[in-house]
Amino acid sequence: MNSFDYKKEITVDSAIKAVSADYKAMFLAGGTNIIDLWKYNLAHPEKLIDINDIAALSIIEQLDNDGIRLGALVKNAATAYDPLVEKHYPLLSKAILAGASAQIRNMATNGGNLLQRTRCYYFYDPDVPCSKRMPGSGCPAIKGRNRIHAVLGASEHCIAVFPSDMCVALAALEAVVNVVGPEGERNIPFSDFHRLPGHTPDLDNNLQQGEIVTSIDLPPGKFSKHYAYLKLRDRHSYAFALVSVAAAFEMEGSTISKARIALGGVAHKPWRVPEAEELLKGRKTTVENFALAADRILSGAIGRGDNDFKIPLAKRAIIRACEMALEPEMQIPGAGPSL
């Protein structure tokens, strides 16, 4: 029998202690991904530390700097519908509601969303090679069926994409991930949290064994007026993004004073190119300007056959998302691209 130890911890310190001492131990929060991976014979935890009852991680609070702190154990659905989030960070709300299903969003936690693993077909099949699953075994996707795979930042070892919608918005909003571990606390800028595959595709992020995500800070921002989350996928609900775009602006009159654009479904992490955002600064909201930014964001993109379409599609999606950001009230959360 596939036996394992299970223990509930109610403080961050005791949870860290339980996991940092044991390499085969894992935290259990919403369980929406780890249980799947386990059933598929892809994860083999010998000890599960249930952290769901750590009350300190289950709240959303306003910070002194006018930002918001999202507890790591707050459910995705509760986050999306939280009045503070809806008012100040509607982009995040929209992105969360574009992901998964209502049932999954009710179970999945914010911390867990950051730590979910790729849905690459080959990663999910224990009977085929995959360097993310078995380092060094190779990547069958590169010459295989790679319609869903990465066009940016991939390596010869892995072309998987990171599947989250929520994280695309968090990247655009320049969130900070607060973690605590045996060595103390760290505050990781969102762009440094997830990794590109490089030579170590088995590592999705920079979290160390025993470290726990405690919260995610959203800095004070003014992206609540001009924002859009556009998700393109093979069906209108309950499918991972082939390309998604989080776009947000701060405007001075009809001029862009600050722009944020992040892509999902195209890389091993949410894809942001700050130089492209700089390009838009002081410019008007024209298709030409959005296209300029899109070209900059997509420079260096490489198609692998089935996924070649993602490059032109991403460009169109960026332009559309930027246009949508100017009229956010037209957007329908979760549904197809807004009119």
Partner 1 sequence: MENKPLIGQPVSRLEGLEKVTGSARYAADYHVSDLLYGYVINSTITKGKILSIDVSAVLALEGVVKIFTHENRPSLAWFDLQYADMDAPPGTVFKPLSDNIIRYNGQPVALIVAEDFETARYASTLLKVVYKEEPFDTVLSQNLDKARAPKKGMSTPLKPPPPEPAGNFDKAFGKADFKTEATYHHGTEHHNPLELFATTAIYEGDGKLTIYDKTQGTINNQFYIANVFGLKYKNVRVLAPYVGGAFGSGLRPQHQLFLCVLASLELKRNVRVTLERKQMFSFGHRPQTIQSLRFSADSSGMLTAMNHCAAGETSSYEDYNEILSSWSHKLYPAANTLFEYKLVPLDLATPIDMRAPGGVTAMHAIECIMDELAYKLDMDPLDFRLKNYSEIDPSTKKPFTSKELKQCYEKGAEKFGWHLRNPKPASTKKGNRLVGWGMATGIWDAYQFPARAAAVLTKDSRLEVHNAATDIGTGTLTVMTQIAADEFGISADDVSFFYGDSKKPFSMFQGGSAITASTGTAIIAAIRELKKKIIKKIKEMPDSPFEKIPEHQIVFRNNSVSVQNRPDICIGFQDLIRANNGREFKVTKLAGPDVLKLRKYSKAAHSASFVEVEVDKDLGTITVTRAVTAVAAGKIINPKTAKSQILGSMIWGISKALHEETLIDPNLGKYINANLGEYHIPSHADIPEMEVIFAQEDDTLINELGVKGVGEIGMTAIPAAVANAVFHATGKRINDLPIHFDKLI
Tell me the C-alpha distance between 98 and 339, whole Å. 16
Tell me the C-alpha distance between 258 and 252, whole Å. 9
CA-closest candidate to residue 315, choices 291, 281, 299, 289: 291
Specify the DSSP class assigned to residue 75.
B
Q: Is 329 in the site for partner 1 (CB under 8 A)?
A: no
Q: Which residues contact 29 (CB under 8 A, 6 or more apart)?
A: 51, 52, 72, 73, 109, 111, 112
Window 224 to 263, contacts with partner 1 (CB under 8 A): 232, 234-239, 242
| Partners of residue 263 on adjacent β-strands | 245, 271
Question: CA dihedral in degrees (291, 296, 299, 304; nearest 10)?
Answer: -50
Tell me the C-alpha distance between 96 and 103, whole Å. 13
Q: Is 2 in the site for partner 1 (CB under 8 A)?
A: yes
Q: Is 300 in the site for partner 1 (CB under 8 A)?
A: no
With CB under 8 A as the contact rule, the residue among 8, 17, 47, 119 that binds partner 1 is: 119
Q: Is 288 in the site for partner 1 (CB under 8 A)?
A: no
Amino acid found at 125: D
CA-closest candidate to residue 224, choices 69, 71, 85: 85
Tell me the C-alpha distance between 133 and 163, whole Å. 16
- Tell me if 8 sits within 8 A of 170, measured CB to CB: no
| Partners of residue 26 on adjacent β-strands | 48
The binding track of 66-105 with respect to partner 1, each residue x by CB under 8 A or -, is ----------------------------------------
Q: Is 121 in the site for partner 1 (CB under 8 A)?
A: yes
Residues touching partner 1, count (CB under 8 A): 36
Q: Is 291 in the site for partner 1 (CB under 8 A)?
A: no
Residue with tokens 């989350």: 229
Q: Is 339 in the site for partner 1 (CB under 8 A)?
A: yes
12: left (phi over 0), alpha (psi -120 to 50) or beta: alpha
For partner 1, give the closer residue by CB, 27 or 123.
Answer: 123
The window from 26-34, 199-207, 250-258, 329-337 that contacts partner 1 (CB under 8 A) reads: 329-337
Tell me the C-alpha distance between 49 and 7, whole Å. 5
For partner 1, give the closer residue by CB, 50 or 308.
Answer: 308
With CB under 8 A as the contact rule, the residue among 25, 175, 320, 328 that binds partner 1 is: 320
With CB under 8 A as the contact rule, the residue among 125, 202, 250, 295 that binds partner 1 is: 125
The secondary structure element, H or E, covering residue 187 is strand 184-189
Window 6 to 65, contacts with partner 1 (CB under 8 A): 41
For partner 1, give the closer residue by CB, 59 or 335.
Answer: 335
The window from 152-160, 186-194, 254-262, 330-338 that contacts partner 1 (CB under 8 A) reads: 330-338
**What distance lies between CA 94 and its chain's CA centroid?**
13
Specify the DSSP class assigned to residue 27.
E
Window 162 to 221, contacts with partner 1 (CB under 8 A): none
For partner 1, give the closer residue by CB, 145 or 225.
Answer: 145
Q: Is 127 in the site for partner 1 (CB under 8 A)?
A: yes
For partner 1, give the closer residue by CB, 140 or 182.
Answer: 140
Minimum CB–partner distance for residue 86 and partner 1 (Å): 22
For partner 1, give the closer residue by CB, 251 or 313.
Answer: 313
Q: Is 5 in the site for partner 1 (CB under 8 A)?
A: no
Tell me the C-alpha distance between 247 and 271, whole Å. 12
Site residues (vs partner 1, CB under 8 A): 1-2, 41, 119, 121-122, 124-125, 127-128, 140, 143-145, 147, 232, 234-239, 242, 309-310, 312-313, 316-317, 319-320, 334-337, 339
